[in-house]
Amino acid sequence: MTALLVFLLVDYQMIEMDGVSVEVFLPLKGMSIGFGAIGKGYAANMAKRVMVDAGAIGGFVNASGDILFWGENKHNEPWKVAIASPLKDNEMIGDILVNDLAVVTSGNYEKNVEIGGKLYSHIIDPKTGYPVEEAISVTIVGPDAEIADALATAVSVLGVKDGIKLINKIKYFEGLIIDENLVMHKSEHFEIQN
């Protein structure tokens, strides 16, 4: 598939909806609707709600990498979550400990396209129309998976300086940004264990 065709398949304005029959139609072959942005975080929140209402006192929901934890693990300890390296398969950069928190990561290392030998992120900067480049991985930790999901995408677009500034303004959320040079940038209270 050529680069031009890929970009033609991305246009929310082309989605056709019929409110009477509750149907959605995508007019071009190859178009699809994904649960990126905040869809996975919302799904994690709703799945947790169902399980808590059913009596689950602890557990986690993994919605394609958007993970929401509650209660303690089977050893009555906080949950230990490994933060993956964005460029090296099966390598971790450290662990974080969480209780009653979501851990959400957005990055260009799993969803991307290579064109002409260059890797392009699936996250598009709405100001330029081009894929983001500065932040290759953004991990957000906070009490709500949907908000963490949205924040991870927004911080990816904002970049390191403005992204950290935004995270530090939002109460109960912390974040880690890994830039294109593999330098880690942490919000004020983000704690990672090596």
Going by C-beta distance under 8 Å and a sequence separation of 6 or more, which residues neighbour residue 150?
37, 38, 41
For residues 38 and 33, give the distance between their C-alpha atoms in angstroms, rounded to a whole number: 13
| Mean pLDDT across the chain | 87
- In sequence order, what are the beta bridge partners of 105? 139
Instruction: Calculate mean pLDDT across residues 30-57.
Output: 86
Residue range 165-184, pLDDT digits in tens: 999 999 999 999 999 888 99
Reply yes or no on whether the pLDDT at 35 is more than 70. no
pTM summary value: 0.81
**Which tops the pLDDT comparison, 101 or 33?**
101
| Per-residue confidence (pLDDT) for residue 37, from 0 to 100 | 63
Report pLDDT digits (tens) over 88-124: 778 888 999 999 999 999 887 777 788 888 777 888 8
Q: What is the pLDDT of residue 91?
A: 85
The tens digit of pLDDT for each residue in 131-143 reads 888 999 999 999 9
Two tokens, residue 113 = 């396209």
Model confidence over 7-21: pLDDT tens digits? Answer: 577 777 888 888 788
pLDDT band at 158 (very low <50, low <70, confident <90, very high): very high
pLDDT band at 36 (very low <50, low <70, confident <90, very high): low
- Beta strands 66-70 and 92-98 are unpaired
Residue 128 binned pLDDT confidence (cut-offs 50, 70, 90): confident
At residue 142, the pLDDT reads: 97
Q: In the chain, pLDDT over 70 holds for what percent of residues?
A: 94
66 touches 40 (CB < 8 A) = yes
